[in-house]
Each structure stands twice: as C-alpha cells, then as structure tokens.
C-alpha cells in the first residue's frame, strides 16, 4: 500500500491511513506500506536548500529532502502502534534500497527484501519511506520528484506482492480529465502501455517511471482514493483502477468483452511547441542535419511531418519539441541555417497535442478516421498527426483543447450516462 502526500498531511489524516492499513491486515493480508512526505513538505525542504546555497550539492540536497518521508514513516508506525498493531519503519538505508549514485534523480538497482519478509510474516506491518535509497557510496539518495510511486512498485516487486495499491486523492484513472468533461468515466482496468501513453501525454496520476517499472516487473497496480468512508471497501474488491498487462486484461474482460471500449482514454498536452522549417533541400541527409543537433542537445522531437509537393526539390519540415526547449531548439537551428539550407524558421508555442489511446485499436480500423471526422465537423484544424499501435495524436490550436477533448469523448461513445460508473 502506498499513500501520497495529501493522505499523509497531518495527524488526523495519518490516523485515517492507519485505519485503512489495519483493515487490510485484519482481512488476512501481510502488509508493507510506502509513504510520501506530507503535502507541501518536499517543496519546503527544496526551498531551504536553495536558500542555503543556490548551487546546492545534490548529495546534500538528498540528505535534506529525504527527511520528509522519514517523518511520515515514523508517524505512521507510531499511529499503527497506538491502534494496537505491530508496526515498524524501515528507512531506505536500513533495508537497503540500493540505487545508483545519481543524486536527486537516482534509479533503483535492487532491494534486499529478506528482513522485510521475515518481519511481515511475523505479523509486523512494515512502513517504508518512499523517495529515498542508498547509493553504493553509502550515501542517501532520492529518486526524483514524485518518486514514492516508484519506491512502492519496487518494494512490491521485491517482496513479490500480489498487488501494489496506490492511495491518492483521486479515486482512479479516468477516460479523460473530469474537469474538462463532466461525463468522464472511471476506468476499471487499464493496461501498462495505455497508462504510459496517457501519462506521457499529460494525465499525471502516477510517476511515469513507476508504470514502466510495474510493466517490467509485472506488478499489478491499483490506483484508488484514501478518502473513502471508514466502513467502505471490503479487502479484496477493486474500488479503484487496476493497471495490468494485456494478457491479464484479456482474462479479466473475457466474459464482459462488450463493455471494453475501443478507446480507453483521451489526453491533452499543452506542453509542446511547433517548429516549421521552409524550403529544406529534398535530398538524402537533409533531415539528419536538422535532427542530429537537436538530439545532441538532448531535445526530444515528437511529431514530425515532411511535406513533399514543392517544386525545385524543396520540402517543408514541421515537428514538435517540448515547450520548455523551444528557445534552445530555435537558437540551435538558426546557428545551423547554412548547413541545413532552409529558408525560414516559423515557431508556434500555442499548440496542443490531443491523443486518443486504447489497446482496442490494434484490431480495429477506423479509429483515426472517426477522430478526423469529429474534429472536422467542429471546424478544428489539424496541424500534424502521429500514430503508434495504440495511439493517434493530433496537433491543434491550444485554444481548441477543451472543445476537442469534449468532442472526441462523445464521438467515441465514452460519455457516461447519468451517474459516473
């Protein structure tokens, strides 16, 4: 079980968490709990580091910011004990959770789970601070912001857990942002691949790395809310959204196949910017001279279109980069103007990428056509398109984001009737 910062913010909420944990144990489960720092605490600690030294040493930053989770881990163990449960904390260095030496964004290399397993088998609830680990130089590391999700999945993999339940302030993964579409529905199941696509295009429920890790290790992850009535949810029901493999999804939905929609979710991402280079020479190597330097500068290019059709062997090349990298990309490309041989560079930061995602589209034709038709009917212009096996993305004017999401949500028949399921 993993509890996020909002669930751990203060004694009252920690008591609520302790009760949820106790109920799972009472239902016969052996439980390990991973906790985040109290909401806002990590930001506060990061602020202190900046004040102390603007060019802070990441190794000392880790010493400071890892402390937020140490506090909540100890407090949860104390609260569980007050409820009469056996519980103890296991800090990252005590297990240990081994990481590499890249401070402030370390990667987990392995977990020694034996002591944990022994203590859990003896009926003790294990409480583990998320976000932290131990480098092979013997120093405290942290996993990057939002890293407690990854800690939880790693611990679940390490102890061979049946499931990793991630308790947060939303009650699951939705077909799209419920703030945009009131009729968005909570999904019962979503596959790892779908979750990765939805996360990478803007639905920030879990840290993306935790989903990749769960996929690699085959950890079944449930996202659910910790803000439920005290007497709700018997232990083995799935009140939230279960994130599973394709194979398990097929098994789970075998007899209710009709309920599984063609499209699982729709995501919008306003953090991309468009670049057009006009009149690039249409010859071998031209495109390589554009994208080589961008790659060298670690700028991720996403959608790419190369238009043919100009005469005199010239072509326009359109592509997108993260908005945060737009200025850097533009500067680099301007410096390469001669080498690339383009005529003009045009940039536009006011674009949004809308993606429809679903494993169902692997075996169905017409998903993209439905998307283009629905947008055309509303007069929304499509500036670029990209696809993968389980995703179709289009680039549009940022002002039309909400309209596009709503139009597509109903075009694929995803609007909930009456009460959200």
Q: Minimal distance in Å, beta carbon 148 to ligand ASP?
A: 3
Q: Is residue 92 at the binding interface for ligand ASP, with CB under 6 A as the rule?
A: no
- Closest to ligand ASP by CB, 42 vs 315, is 42
> Would you state the structure tokens that stand for residue 170, as one six-digit string?
């939303």
Using CB under 5 A as the binding rule, the residues of this chain from 4 to 23 that contact Mg ion are 4
- Closest to Mg ion by CB, 59 vs 170, is 170
Separation of alpha carbons 269 and 116, rounded Å: 40
Q: Which does 328 bind (CB under 5 to 8 A by kind): ligand ASP, Mg ion, none?
A: none
Q: Among 148, 175, 210, 226, indicate the residue that binds ligand ASP (CB under 6 A).
A: 148
- Closest to Mg ion by CB, 221 vs 374, is 221
Q: Among 13, 22, 34, 68, indicate the residue that binds ligand ASP (CB under 6 A).
A: 68
Q: Which does 145 bind (CB under 5 to 8 A by kind): Mg ion, ligand ASP, none?
A: ligand ASP
Q: Which residue has the tokens 């533009």?
A: 330
Q: Minimal distance in Å, beta carbon 40 to ligand ASP?
A: 9
Q: Is residue 37 at the binding interface for ligand ASP, with CB under 6 A as the rule?
A: yes
Give the H/E segment covering residue 189.
strand 189-191
Q: Determine contact, residues 344/279, Cβ cutoff 8 Å.
A: yes
Q: Is residue 146 at the binding interface for Mg ion, with CB under 5 A as the rule?
A: yes
Torsion of CA 233, 267, 245, 361, to 10 degrees: 130
Q: What is the pattern of x (binds ligand ASP, CB under 6 A) and - over residues 335-364?
A: ------------------------------
- 48-68 burial, b for 16+ CB within 10 Å, e for fewer? ebeeeeeebebeebbbbbbbb
Q: Strands 140-142 and 189-191, how do they pair?
A: unpaired
Instruction: Name the DSSP class of 115.
Output: H
Q: Minimal distance in Å, beta carbon 146 to Mg ion?
A: 4
Please count the residues of the chain.
421
**Cα-to-chain-centroid distance, residue 372:** 27
Interface contacts to ligand ASP, rule CB under 6 A: 5, 36-37, 42, 68, 130-131, 145-149
């Amino acid at each position: 079980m993993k509890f996020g910062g909002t669930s751990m913010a203060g004694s009252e909420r920690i008591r609520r968490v302790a009760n949820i944990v106790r109920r799972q144990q009472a239902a016969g489960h052996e439980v390990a709990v991973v906790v985040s720092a109290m909401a806002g605490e990590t930001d506060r600690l990061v602020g202190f580091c900046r004040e102390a030294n603007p060019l802070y040493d990441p190794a000392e930053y880790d010493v400071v910011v890892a402390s937020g989770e140490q506090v909540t881990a100890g407090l949860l163990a104390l609260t569980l004990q007050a409820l009469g449960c056996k519980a103890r904390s296991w800090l990252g260095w005590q297990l240990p959770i081994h990481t590499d030496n890249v401070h402030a964004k370390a990667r987990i290399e392995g977990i020694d789970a034996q002591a944990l397993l022994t203590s859990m088998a003896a009926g003790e609830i294990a409480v583990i601070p998320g976000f932290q680990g131990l480098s092979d130089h013997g120093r405290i590391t942290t996993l990057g912001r939002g890293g407690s999700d990854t800690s939880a999945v790693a611990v679940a993999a390490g102890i061979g857990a049946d499931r990793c339940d991630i308790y947060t302030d939303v009650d699951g993964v939705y077909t799209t942002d419920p703030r945009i579409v009131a009729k968005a529905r909570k999904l019962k199941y979503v596959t790892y691949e779908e979750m990765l696509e939805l996360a990478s295009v803007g639905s920030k429920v879990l840290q993306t790395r935790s989903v990749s890790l769960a996929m690699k290790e085959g950890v079944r992850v449930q996202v659910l809310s910790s803000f439920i009535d005290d007497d709700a949810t018997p232990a083995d029901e799935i009140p939230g959204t279960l994130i599973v493999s394709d194979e398990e999804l097929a098994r789970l939905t075998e007899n209710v196949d009709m309920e599984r929609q063609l499209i699982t979710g729709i995501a919008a991402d306003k953090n991309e910017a468009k670049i057009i280079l006009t009149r690039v020479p249409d010859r071998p190597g031209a495109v390589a001279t554009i994208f080589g330097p961008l790659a060298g500068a670690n700028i991720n290019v996403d959608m790419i279109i190369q238009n043919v059709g100009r005469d005199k062997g010239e072509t326009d090349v359109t592509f997108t980069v993260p908005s945060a990298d737009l200025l850097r990309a533009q500067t680099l490309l301007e410096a390469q103007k001669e080498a690339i041989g383009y005529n003009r560079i045009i940039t536009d930061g006011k674009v949004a990428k809308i993606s429809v995602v679903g494993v169902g589209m692997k075996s169905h034709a017409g998903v993209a056509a439905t998307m283009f038709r629905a947008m055309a009917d509303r007069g929304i212009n499509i500036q670029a398109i990209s696809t993968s096996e389980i995703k179709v993305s289009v680039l549009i004017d940022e002002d039309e984001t909400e309209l596009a999401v709503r139009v597509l949500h109903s075009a694929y028949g995803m609007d909930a009737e009456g009460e959200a399921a």
